[in-house]
Amino acid sequence: MGALEAAPWADRIIRLEARAATQAEVALIHNPLYVEAMRRICEKGGEFIPRMEAAVGEASYPAALRAVGAGLDLADKIMQNAEGAPCKIGFAPTRPPGHHATYERPMGFCIFNNISILARYLQTKYGIGKVAIVDFDVHHGNGTEEAFWKDPTVLYVSIHTADSYPYNSGRSDDSGIGTGRGYSLNVTLLPGSSSAEYLAAFDRYVMPKLEEFAPEFLLVSAGFDAHYRDPLGAQKVTDEGYAELGRRLKRIADTYSQGRIISLLEGGYNLQSLASGVTAYLGALLED
């Protein structure tokens, strides 16, 4: 937050205090019984959840509700401002992240699938027909893919490290099933990939898929753990690499989505690279 406040475009930021999502809103994607179970676990003091590979405590449930609510608040701000309003770009630097959480399981530090709930919220509340989710976290967003595996109205595109967590997930030939076939795209890169390799893969696979789909609203699972400083990611993306990803996504949003784009923070485990990567990425989105 300090890095964002020190950015040369800081005066263009409108800060919102995230509300807590309701259980009904979380249940747009998750099993209501799971949502209630998580509430009870946390209110009793929490526990270590092996599948999540992390512990939850008393504050985890309200934090997870606000992580969901942040995205919903951004959607409301953008959609209710009507055409011509200045607010079309939203970013939520929240924790916990969400893209690993499945229908009734926490996983990989994630409790609720923030981005998936947001996509369905845009469709159910505002009648958005086609939503694209681009996930550039270093890990595959298995929970997000699962949520829309059979759904042709949500395109899920993930660019991630091959054979990384979660294992046996996000293979390049995984593309959906039934009417959802062709609406999941997995682009895998080897460990040690540079910004140039990320951008080349983005230009070859991701951009054409987004142009073909022509989304009415663009969502981004913005993980910064592919940054070269990150202790977990094993990739070599620079700040300028993230800025270039932002410029490409902005071009898609401007062309097909009336400029509407919301990014939710996913992974990123080095505070310095989070600060610099997020600032570079958002700065690119705000370029005229």
The interaxial angle of helices 32-43 and 60-80, nearest 10 deg, is 130
> Would you name the residues annotated as active-site residues?
100
**Residue 55, class by beta-carbon neighbours within 10 Å (0-12 exposed, 13-18 middle, 19+ buried)?**
exposed
Burial state string for 268-283 with b = 16 or more CB within 10 A and e = fewer than 16:
bbbeebbbbbbbbbbb
**Domains defined for the chain, CATH in brackets:** 2-285 (3.40.800.20)
pLDDT confidence of residue 8: 94
pLDDT confidence of residue 82: 56
Global pTM reads: 0.96
pLDDT confidence of residue 54: 84
Q: What band does 159 get if pLDDT is binned at 50, 70 and 90? A: very high
Closest listed residue to residue 90, CA positions, set 10, 174, 13: 13
Average pLDDT over residues 168-188: 96
The pLDDT of residue 84 is above 90: no
The pLDDT of residue 254 is above 90: yes
pLDDT confidence of residue 81: 76
pLDDT above 90: percentage of residues in the chain: 93
